[in-house]
Amino acid sequence: MLERVWDRWAGRFVESQPLSPGYSDSSPTDSFSTPTLRPTHHLPHYYAPLSSYFYNYPEPSPLTTSDEGDSSPIGYPSPPPPTPPAPEPQAVGSHYTPVSQPPAWRLNYEIGTGGSGTVFLENVHIPGMKSPELWAVKRISRTLPNFTFKRYEAEINNLQTLARHEWFVKFNSTYKDTHYMYIAMEYMPMGDMSQSFADGYRWNESDTRVVIKQLLHGLAIMHKEGITHRDLKPENIFLYLPENQTYVLRVKIGDIGTSKRIPPSNCSTYLKTTTGTQGYMAPEVHDTSKPKTNRVDIWSLGCVLYRMCTGNLLFKDANEVFKYFWTASSSPLALDGIGFSSPYVSFLRDILQPIPEGRPSAEDCQKKAWIMSEVPGPEYAIGTDLHRRLSKINHQVPNVHSFRKMVANQVVDSSFVP
């Protein structure tokens, strides 16, 4: 049966066969319709929202009526304008997992539980991937007392902003359902830095500098984007040994759920809430009457550095922090005579200044003598002792080849809690 349809190229109505299967005037996976679609029946469900990129929106027709004159043949209507896509639901992430149609994840292999949700390990292989990957999927209950959709959106926005940089755990995808929000991240098999402290292990100064240099790259990018982490600690610093790079250690910053964005142009806006982990929180964070800036991350970096080299927390509670705050000028940290170089001691004292205005920025820290000192060998190379320790950890955790067997046996041994 023939029907009359508007041909936007010919500028007139023509007789045509009805649309064949695989074509439609509206997509079942989208909340809006369009005049014409290319075939979408071949698209896998993972890429359902990508159908929006296949819409053939009518181009502005030269045959339209305007105040300057009518160039349309009499009786021929102009094509209807396309309906703009609705803002929600919306797919985000590097693999465009649809919010309204979550993939068939099993969520049956738990690798961690944090204050904001439970983390599962998933074996993912979708079109576009050269090989399967393991993703860490954080499930966040929408009934949590401190959960707000605004906070969730802020975390996603920050993850997307940082996703293109190598210094952060990669953000893959997100979606939501009636009861939960899901955030899929890159899985870091070796886990976080805290595991390296087992058996009282202490990092040597050279290996420590390898990590601090990379953390400063990440913090400089975050702060330039107007994002403050607010909870930098060993548990949020992830390590990995790149393949085919002997004795090289790479670092990524994770868990930016507590991060806060302040536009760089808005210098009058400060962080006001008390957020962080005891032992790594700057003095001003404990004082609710004082504003906070991204210098809280620099203080936390100093606490991480001290922990790496000594194996101990610098401050056990807020009282010790306040004691240091009032006496730092008269009784500096007792770091002399314990085997650290003078540039190291100077760097640590600079970033642990009790007054936030006295601490250098992340970019200024990168210019310090201890950071800029040249070390022979490949960039980010570590010693054999630390490499041996980390390699042992790396061999004990799931990988894409052993994952299926480990799921069957339900052996859980990982510290990834994004």
Q: Give me the number of domains the chain comprises.
A: 3
Asked if the model's pLDDT at residue 38 lies above 90, the reply is: no
Residue labelled with tokens 């993912």: 124
Query: Which range has the worst mean pLDDT, 29-43, 131-145, 335-349, 350-364?
Result: 29-43
Tell me the DSSP string of 156-188. HHHHHHHTTSTTBPPEEEEEE-SSEEEEEEE--
pLDDT in tens, 175-206: 888 899 999 999 998 889 999 999 899 999 99
Q: Is residue 50 part of a domain?
A: no
Q: Minimal CA–CA distance to 356: which of 259, 304, 258, 287?
A: 287
Pairwise CA distance, residues 281 & 232, whole Å: 9
Residue labelled with tokens 């003095």: 283
Pairwise CA distance, residues 164 & 170, whole Å: 8
146 and 32 part of one domain:
no
What pLDDT, on the 0 to 100 scale, is given for residue 103? Answer: 63
Q: Is residue 396 part of a domain?
A: no
Entry pTM: 0.71
Q: How confident is the model at residue 25 (pLDDT cuts 50, 70, 90)?
A: very low
Mapped onto helix, strand or coil, the DSSP state of residue 123 is: strand
256 and 366 part of one domain:
yes
Which CATH number does the domain housing residue 311 bear? Answer: 1.10.510.10
Residue where a domain terminates, one of 137, 170, 187: 187
What pLDDT, on the 0 to 100 scale, is given for residue 102? Answer: 57
Q: Is residue 385 part of a domain?
A: yes
104 and 219 part of one domain:
no
Kindly state the average pLDDT of the residues 38-56.
Answer: 33
Q: Is residue 168 part of a domain?
A: yes
Which CATH number does the domain housing residue 169 bear? Answer: 3.30.200.20
CA distances from residue 63 to 9, 69, 96, 151 in whole angstroms, order as listed: 10, 10, 37, 48
117 and 37 part of one domain:
no
CB count within 10 Å of CB 328 equals 17
Pairwise CA distance, residues 177 & 114, whole Å: 20
Query: Which range has the worst mean pLDDT, 49-58, 126-135, 154-163, 317-326?
Result: 49-58
Instruction: Record the tokens describing residue 334, joined without a space.
Output: 């007792």
Q: Is residue 209 part of a domain?
A: yes
Report the run of H or E that residue 404 belongs to, with start and end: helix 403-409
Q: How confident is the model at residue 110 (pLDDT cuts 50, 70, 90)?
A: confident
Q: Is residue 263 part of a domain?
A: yes
What pLDDT, on the 0 to 100 scale, is given for residue 324? Answer: 86
227 DSSP 8-state letter: E
Angle (nearest 5°) at CA 123 between 122 and 125: 130
What pLDDT, on the 0 to 100 scale, is given for residue 339? Answer: 78
| Residue environment code for 354-384, b if the CB has 16+ CB neighbours within 10 A, otherwise e | bebeebbbbeebbebebeeeeeeeeebbbee
Kindly state the average pLDDT of the residues 98-119.
Answer: 73
311 and 211 part of one domain:
yes
Asked if the model's pLDDT at residue 30 lies above 90, the reply is: no
Kindly state the average pLDDT of the residues 395-399.
Answer: 72
Give me Rg for the CA atoms of the chain.
27
Pairwise CA distance, residues 18 & 24, whole Å: 10
Q: How confident is the model at residue 101 (pLDDT cuts 50, 70, 90)?
A: low
Residue where a domain terminates, one of 139, 164, 187: 187
Q: Between 404 and 49, where is the model more confident? A: 404
CB count within 10 Å of CB 40 equals 19
224 and 373 part of one domain:
yes
Kindly state the average pLDDT of the residues 57-74.
Answer: 38
pLDDT in tens, 133-180: 899 999 999 988 877 888 888 888 999 999 899 999 999 989 888 899
Asked if the model's pLDDT at residue 8 lies above 50, the reply is: no
Question: Which backbone phi and psi does 301 adopt, to 5 degrees?
Answer: -60, -40
Helix and strand numbers, DSSP H then E, in the chain:
10, 13
Q: Between 202 and 125, where is the model more confident? A: 202
Pairwise CA distance, residues 414 & 418, whole Å: 12
174 and 209 part of one domain:
no
Torsion-angle region of 352 (φ positive above 0: left; ψ -120 to 50: alpha; else: beta)? alpha
262 and 224 part of one domain:
yes
204 and 344 part of one domain:
yes
175 and 134 part of one domain:
yes
Q: Is residue 416 part of a domain?
A: no
CA dihedral 109, 148, 87, 256 (to 10 degrees): -60
Domain that holds residue 19: 3-42
CB count within 10 Å of CB 317 equals 12
Pairwise CA distance, residues 108 & 408, whole Å: 10
Asked if the model's pLDDT at residue 37 lies above 90, the reply is: no
Q: Are 237 and 192 in contact (CB under 8 A)?
A: yes
303 and 361 part of one domain:
yes
308 and 338 part of one domain:
yes
pLDDT in tens, 254-305: 987 655 565 554 443 444 555 668 889 999 988 877 778 999 999 999 999 9
* Cα-Cα end-to-end distance for the chain: 58
CA distances from residue 232 to 127, 215, 302, 321, 368 in whole angstroms, order as listed: 35, 10, 10, 17, 21
What pLDDT, on the 0 to 100 scale, is given for residue 148? Answer: 81
CA distances from residue 81 to 54, 197, 264 in whole angstroms, order as listed: 17, 62, 39
Pairwise CA distance, residues 254 & 268, whole Å: 28
Angle between helices 342-351 and 295-310 (to 10 degrees): 140
Pairwise CA distance, residues 160 & 162, whole Å: 5
Kindly state the average pLDDT of the residues 38-60.
Answer: 34
Residue where a domain terminates, one of 133, 158, 187: 187
Q: Are 198 and 227 in contact (CB under 8 A)?
A: no
Q: How confident is the model at residue 330 (pLDDT cuts 50, 70, 90)?
A: low
Pairwise CA distance, residues 343 & 325, whole Å: 23
Q: What is the overall mean pLDDT for the chain?
A: 74
CB count within 10 Å of CB 342 equals 10
Q: Is residue 82 part of a domain?
A: no
